[in-house]
Amino acid sequence: MTTTNRFFYNVTLLITHYNRSQSLERLLKTFKNSGSTFKEIIVSDDGSKREHLDYINSLKSEYDFTLLTSPTNRGLGNNINKGQDAVKTDYVLYIQEDFIPLDGFTENFNNGLALIEEDPSVDTVRFYSYINYPKLVPIKNGFSQMVFDPWSFDLDKVPMYSDHPHLRRQTFFDKFGRYPEDRSGDKTEYHMMISFLRNKGKAYLFADYKALLEPVNSESEPSTMLETRNFWRNNNSFALRNVRTIYRWLLFNYSFYLKKQ
């Protein structure tokens, strides 16, 4: 990896973690080797097993981070909430433990940080996505503004917000509310997607959206959600495609127009 040394004095790196301590170590090591240094690193753990917590504690002397723990697994919402609550800097880079930064991340993160600093109306800058956003307006330095079109039939318009790695303000909760703590990870994320759209969030996306970060899941530490998501999202039988589309349309229209958040 090419090293470009940068100290982001007004950014906290917030990492959510659950039972994947070797993945966490890989992420911390890759950031360190890339030359990206943050004012503070917070690892928010969601009730991991003792062997993982012991291993994480053994990493503190090398990577200098604050570890927030939970006595039990309280879900994604609680884990992000408690991490965000501990942030003291103006900005937060949120990332899950199973990602790693690639060549070019530091320089482009610096460009994304400049965009959110320059424009107080920008709420998030995204550095990764599974899919491209359907309506984009180029801004500069490879970033585009994501534009929500309520009349579009393209349901890929819904995830303007995503739990994928992104930069946001410390005041994020003031505008969009806290994450719900009484539902599954996917439903927690979807709730925030709808809140982001309802509250007219403004988001930028890096155009080459898979070039800066990569999700890495090993056999020893696989994704805890990937298997369920893959069956529902990637099964392309004719019947399931149609059921999936109808379900997504009904869910979006009910959530966006009718449901109380």
Structure tokens at 130: 């599974």
Helix axis angle for 185-198 and 75-85, nearest 10°, is: 60
Cβ atoms of residues 34 and 4 within 8 Å = yes
Distance in angstroms (rounded) separating the CA atoms of residues 65 and 49:
19
pLDDT single digits (tens) 137-149: 999 999 999 999 9
User: Quick one: average pLDDT of 39-56?
Assistant: 98
pLDDT single digits (tens) 163-182: 999 999 999 999 999 999 98
The reply to whether 31 falls in a domain is yes
Cβ atoms of residues 16 and 92 within 8 Å = no
Rg, C-alpha atoms of the chain: 18
φ, ψ of residue 62 in degrees (nearest 5): -85, -35
CB atoms closer than 10 angstroms to residue 155: 14
- We report the CATH number of the domain holding residue 70 as 3.90.550.10
Would you state the pLDDT for residue 256? 82
The reply to whether 49 falls in a domain is yes
The reply to whether 152 falls in a domain is yes
Q: Which residue has the tokens 């291993």?
A: 55
SS3 226: helix
The reply to whether 245 falls in a domain is no
User: Quick one: average pLDDT of 85-89?
Assistant: 98
Residue 258 DSSP label: I
Cβ atoms of residues 187 and 261 within 8 Å = no
Provide the CA 6 distance to its chain's centre, in angstroms.
21
- pLDDT band for 230, please (50, 70, 90 cuts): low
Least confident of 53-62, 102-111, 212-221, 232-241: 232-241
The reply to whether 232 falls in a domain is no
User: How many domains, in total, are found in the chain?
Assistant: 1
Distance in angstroms (rounded) separating the CA atoms of residues 20 and 9:
28
Model confidence, pTM: 0.90
SS3 252: helix
Provide the CA 204 distance to its chain's centre, in angstroms.
13
The reply to whether 62 falls in a domain is yes
Q: Is 165 exposed, middle or buried (0-12, 13-18, 19+ CB in 10 A)?
A: buried
The reply to whether 167 falls in a domain is yes
The share of the chain scoring above pLDDT 90, in percent, equals: 79
Domain encompassing residue 43: 6-224
Is the pLDDT at 258 greater than 80, yes or no?
no
The reply to whether 229 falls in a domain is no
Cβ atoms of residues 194 and 256 within 8 Å = yes
